[in-house]
């Protein structure tokens, strides 16, 4: 069974969902010990501190915190990985692999920053992103 969550900017939080606004932008946090499996299309930023698997497309930033685990297709403006992640990743602006970050899979990115101690295994494609009018 596939779970699809689509959200638009909202002023209030729903039960069971940690959502906050910072600088006028929505932020979704998956807490340590929590897990999410499915498809998330989100207008804002996502911070994964637990386990996530599936497809995650966000208009803002996507962060995998230290100790977190993600197996997914990830698409975000800036992606920061400090935990473990694998799959297919698109960072429309910048991918940052923190010193404790590990990523296995294919990466498409405009800019890339890898801190000492980080691990990246897979194919990397770098360049500018052109907006298509057919989106």
Q: In sequence order, what DSSP letters do the residues of 47-98 get, joined into one string? A: EESSEEEEEEEESS-EEE-TT-EEEEEEEEEEEEESSEEEEEEEEEEEEEE-
Burial of 39 (0-12, 13-18, 19+ CB in 10 A): middle
Q: Where are the domains positioned within the chain? A: 25-123
For the stretch 59-90, pLDDT in tens is 999 999 999 999 999 999 999 999 999 999 99
Low-confidence ranges of the chain (pLDDT < 70): 1-24, 129-135
Residue 37 pLDDT: 96
| Pairing mode, strands 45-48 and 25-30 | parallel
Give the pLDDT score at 127.
84
The model's pTM is: 0.79
pLDDT at 24: 56
* pLDDT of res. 65: 98
């Amino acid at each position: 069974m596939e779970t699809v969550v689509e959200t638009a900017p909202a002023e209030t939080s729903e039960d069971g969902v940690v959502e906050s606004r910072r600088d006028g932008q929505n932020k979704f946090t998956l807490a340590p010990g929590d897990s999410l499996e499915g498809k998330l299309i989100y207008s804002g930023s996502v911070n994964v501190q637990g386990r996530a698997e599936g497809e995650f497309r966000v208009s803002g930033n996507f962060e995998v915190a230290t100790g977190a685990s993600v197996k997914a297709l990830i698409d975000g403006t800036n992606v920061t990985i400090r935990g473990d992640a694998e799959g297919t990743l698109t960072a429309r602006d910048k991918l940052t692999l923190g010193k404790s970050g590990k990523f296995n899979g294919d990466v498409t990115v405009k800019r890339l920053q890898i801190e000492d101690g980080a691990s990246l295994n897979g194919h990397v494609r770098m360049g500018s992103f052109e907006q298509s009018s057919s989106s």
